[in-house]
């Protein structure tokens, strides 16, 4: 059996801590103030068996934030209700927190029955409890009556807890390690120790670990579980992890320990919010709220809608401090002041960095169900596809599950691992065709568009653009040309004036001979405006009549071919070419010889070794 964590829940002074002590023999009130005041302030931990941990949480309304931190790490609830009081305000709030965080099963302990001498009263309290839990969707194994004076009922409760735990098995959704820290302390001779319940994966002694959201990396120097040393901990285990060379100041409740690189920090999330059925609060646009995410409490503002009692909907949450979360993490929302539990949420997208106009539509349309959301995001984010590994990290699920989803959706994978659908590829091809048509309408001379120019406009990922362009070339939709790509079959239409101007620009370049000519000199000689010259020179380039040497230098293509022929002849008898040799061959000055030599190097006609050049692989190739 894997480890199981049981969390207490209930109103202050209903006997949670004394019940835990009766079950385990451990007093979880470790703070002096707790012992002096006779009330639990912070989380307490006790071991029922080697496999079962009980977290004792505070009942007082002032410490509900600590209760929420404890509830983030538990599998079952132990709802403690005093027989003489019955259901009280914090009973409701604790139950809300449990169910909002997805904890919907447990056991009820009806304590202090020694104070009640009326069986009808006890039966009435039990009916109230059953009715409340049914309304909340909280499934209970049994209601155990506990006599605080004699201890009657404790053994039966313990047996029930062990039986329930034996039937439970934790499932790690991801192989990557993740643990929300709920307590940090320093131990003499050991250093900093962080405790929590392992949510995912496996960690071993000596493993590198990342502290988030700070991003500090360290190593595990020791692990304990249930007070004993162990070599590793896995999903569901309570763990105390000793971290090397880390001060306790770098760790607090709310930080996350994880496999390095598997999580990122974020200040904005898109989430589905469900209001409680008992709250009178209304979440309004840009309202400041308290968000209990994992074991952290973070202030933030919700926007994108308005929610009232029992309503649910998607909202954008901007947090004042960064958190490290993944898809489908659950959290609790409390009002800013006075503090009350008003809603719960589930993260639909931890990195919604889209423009607000696009985000506005996404708020209304993104599905809550994970697989449908995966399909939605793949189809919506077709401009920047992700790899399977990236999808795994985002949803924090196994490769097996991602494979199952992609198979069901009939997804494909590029050589670089990008996942896409036929629908996404079709949208991409249509956008490229549209981009070419718009570009041709603006400037019919530039039939060839560079990949850099296309990327700047469409704003896709590099690998995706390259894949789409190659696919379109394979289908015959695009043609690959020198300097870029053109739409297959496109023929620019020229007026008589265009042809005359084109001939004039070509003549100016031709007249420079072997001498590379600067664009500004072509502009000055022609008398045309810079844009007109740019359009015409690029058309000549597309036609293969001129060559762009870089740094605004241009050369007539036949003259460049002559230079290449002269250089090839030179290397038949010589192994090395100096700048002086090149100047002698071409008759160029150093000012124009250097740009031409750099062009030859860049295109592998020559290879530079310090101050000389040797023959390159493409010369005569």
Domain 4-166 has CATH 3.40.50.300: yes
Helical segments of 39-178, H only: 64-71, 89-100, 119-136, 154-166
511-538 pLDDT tens trace: 888 888 888 988 988 999 888 888 888 8
β-bridge partners, 52:
4
Rounded to an integer, the average pLDDT of 549-562 is: 88
- In this model, does residue 34 exceed pLDDT 60? no
Cα–Cα dist 128/113, whole Å: 16
Helical segments of 334-444, H only: 356-365, 370-380, 388-395, 399-408, 422-442
Domain 266-365 has CATH 2.40.30.10: yes
- In this model, does residue 47 exceed pLDDT 80? no
Domain boundaries, the chain: 4-166, 178-258, 266-365, 369-493, 496-615
Rounded to an integer, the average pLDDT of 419-444 is: 91
**Which pLDDT does position 224 carry in this prediction?**
86
- Whether residue 244 has a cis bond before it, omega within 30° of 0: no
589-608 pLDDT tens trace: 888 888 889 888 888 999 99
- In this model, does residue 422 exceed pLDDT 90? yes
175-187 pLDDT tens trace: 889 998 988 888 7
CA 345 to chain CA mean position, Å: 17
Q: Do domains 266-365 and 369-493 have the same CATH topology?
A: no
Q: What is the CATH number of domain 369-493?
A: 1.10.10.10
- In this model, does residue 498 exceed pLDDT 70? yes
**Which pLDDT does position 64 carry in this prediction?**
45
**Which pLDDT does position 170 carry in this prediction?**
66
**Which pLDDT does position 499 carry in this prediction?**
80
- In this model, does residue 118 exceed pLDDT 80? yes
Q: Which CATH architecture has domain 496-615?
A: Orthogonal Bundle (1.10)
Residue whose token pair is 């763990």? 239
- In this model, does residue 588 exceed pLDDT 50? yes
Model confidence at 15, pLDDT cuts 50, 70, 90, reads confident
Cα–Cα dist 212/218, whole Å: 11
Q: What is the CATH number of domain 178-258?
A: 2.40.30.10
341-370 pLDDT tens trace: 899 899 999 999 778 888 888 898 999 999
Of 394, 489, 390, the residue nearest 440 (C-alpha): 489
């Amino acid at each position: 059996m894997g480890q199981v964590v049981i969390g207490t829940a209930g109103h202050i002074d209903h006997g949670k801590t004394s019940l835990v002590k009766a079950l385990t023999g451990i007093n979880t009130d470790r703070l002096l103030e707790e012992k002096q005041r006779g009330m639990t302030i912070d989380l307490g931990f006790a071991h029922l068996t080697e496999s079962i941990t009980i977290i004792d949480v505070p009942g007082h309304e002032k410490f509900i934030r600590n209760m929420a931190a404890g509830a983030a790490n538990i599998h079952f609830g132990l709802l403690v209700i005093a027989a003489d009081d019955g259901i009280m305000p914090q009973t409701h709030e604790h139950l809300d927190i449990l169910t909002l965080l997805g904890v919907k099963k447990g056991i009820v302990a009806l304590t202090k029955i020694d104070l009640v001498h009326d069986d009808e009263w006890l039966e009435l309290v039990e009916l109230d409890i059953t009715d409340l839990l049914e309304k909340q969707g909280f499934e209970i194994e049994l209601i155990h009556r506990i006599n605080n004076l004699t201890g009657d009922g404790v053994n039966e409760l313990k047996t029930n807890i062990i039986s329930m735990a034996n039937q439970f098995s934790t499932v790690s959704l991801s192989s990557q390690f993740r643990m929300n820290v709920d307590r940090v302390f320093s131990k003499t001779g050991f250093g900093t120790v962080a405790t929590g319940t392992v949510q995912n994966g496996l960690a071993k002694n000596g493993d590198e670990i990342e502290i988030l959201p700070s991003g500090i990396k360290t190593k595990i120097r020791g692990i304990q579980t249930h007070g004993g040393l162990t070599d590793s901990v896995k999903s569901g285990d309570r763990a105390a992890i000793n971290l090397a060379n880390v001060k306790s100041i770098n760790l607090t409740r709310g930080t996350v320990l994880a496999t390095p690189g598997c999580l990122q920090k974020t200040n904005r999330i898109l989430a589905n919010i469900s209001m409680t059925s008992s709250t009178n609060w209304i979440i309004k646009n840009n309202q400041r709220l308290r968000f209990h995410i994992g074991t952290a409490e973070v202030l933030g503002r919700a926007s994108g809608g308005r929610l009232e009692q029992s309503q649910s909907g998607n909202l954008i949450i901007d947090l004042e401090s960064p958190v490290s979360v993944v898809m489908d993490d659950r959290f609790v929302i409390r009002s800013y002041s006075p503090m009350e539990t008003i809603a719960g949420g589930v993260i639909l997208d931890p990195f919604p960095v889209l423009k607000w106009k696009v985000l506005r539509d996404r708020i209304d349309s993104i599905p809550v169900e994970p697989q449908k959301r995966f399909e939605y995001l793949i189809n919506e984010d077709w401009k920047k596809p992700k790899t399977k590994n990236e999808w795994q990290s985002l949803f924090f699920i196994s490769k097996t599950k991602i494979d199952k989803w992609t198979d069901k959706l009939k997804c494909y994978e590029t050589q670089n691992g990008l996942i896409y659908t036929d629908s996404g590829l079709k949208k991409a091809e249509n956008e490229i065709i549209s981009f070419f048509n718009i570009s041709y309408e603006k400037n019919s001379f530039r039939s060839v568009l560079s990949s850099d120019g296309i990327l700047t406009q469409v704003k896709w990922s590099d690998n995706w653009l390259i894949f789409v362009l190659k696919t379109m070339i394979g289908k015959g939709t695009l043609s690959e040309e020198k300097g870029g790509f053109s739409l297959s079959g496109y023929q620019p239409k020229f007026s008589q004036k265009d042809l005359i101007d084109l001939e004039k620009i070509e003549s100016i370049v031709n007249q420079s001979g072997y001498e590379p000519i600067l664009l500004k000199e072509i502009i000055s000689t022609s008398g045309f405006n810079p844009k007109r010259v740019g359009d015409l020179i690029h058309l000549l380039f597309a036609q293969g009549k001129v060559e762009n040497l870089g740094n605004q230098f241009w050369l007539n293509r036949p003259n460049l071919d002559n230079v290449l022929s002269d250089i090839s002849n030179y290397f038949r008898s010589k192994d090395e070419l100096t700048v002086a040799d090149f100047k002698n061959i071409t008759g160029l000055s150093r000012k124009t010889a250097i740009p031409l030599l750099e062009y030859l190097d860049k295109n592998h006609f020559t290879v530079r070794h310090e101050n000389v050049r040797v023959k390159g692989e493409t010369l005569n190739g």
